[in-house]
Amino acid sequence: MHASEALDKVLKLQLGQVSLPDDLAFVPYQPGLRENVLIHPLFDNTRDDPAGSDAALIRYLPGAFTPRHLHIGFEMVFVLDGDYIENDISYGPGSLIVRAPGTTHEMRSVNGCTFLATRDVPVKQLT
């Protein structure tokens, strides 16, 4: 285990059925880098500060893929629905995943998923 992984946390919370508004607008997120990944931004401080924080609802369509990146700061993901697969481990609804600075991951989904994601600093893309 990388030393920074000791700061990682994974909590399995119980969730009922989550219903997002039908009219919530999602747009392609970093097309050409991420495949079949959509975003609904909640806030984005990186527009004013390259080291700023952001938060968004992210939707992975079936077969979605995000290549490996390095976390410079903390990242938190809360899975709302579907199958969210990170470093080949599948997380279902209610999974709260905190990744510490210095950790890396790549993500995908077989059937699609939606999750809330926050980062205190943008990630560094590795591929």
**Sequence-ordered list of residues with C-beta below 8 angstroms from that of 55, at least 6 positions apart, any chain:** 41, 42, 43, 116, 117, 118, 119
- Per CB under 5 A, 86 contacts Fe ion: no
> Interface with Fe ion by CB under 5 A: which range of 16-24, 32-40, 57-65, 75-83?
75-83
Nearer to Fe ion, 18 or 70 (CB): 70
Nearer to Fe ion, 54 or 75 (CB): 75
Q: Please state the closest distance from residue 99 (CB atom) to Fe ion, in A.
A: 6
Distance of alpha carbon 6 from alpha carbon 101, whole angstroms = 10
Distance of alpha carbon 85 from alpha carbon 64, whole angstroms = 10
- Per CB under 5 A, 75 contacts Fe ion: yes
Residues that bind Fe ion in the complex, under the rule CB under 5 A: 75
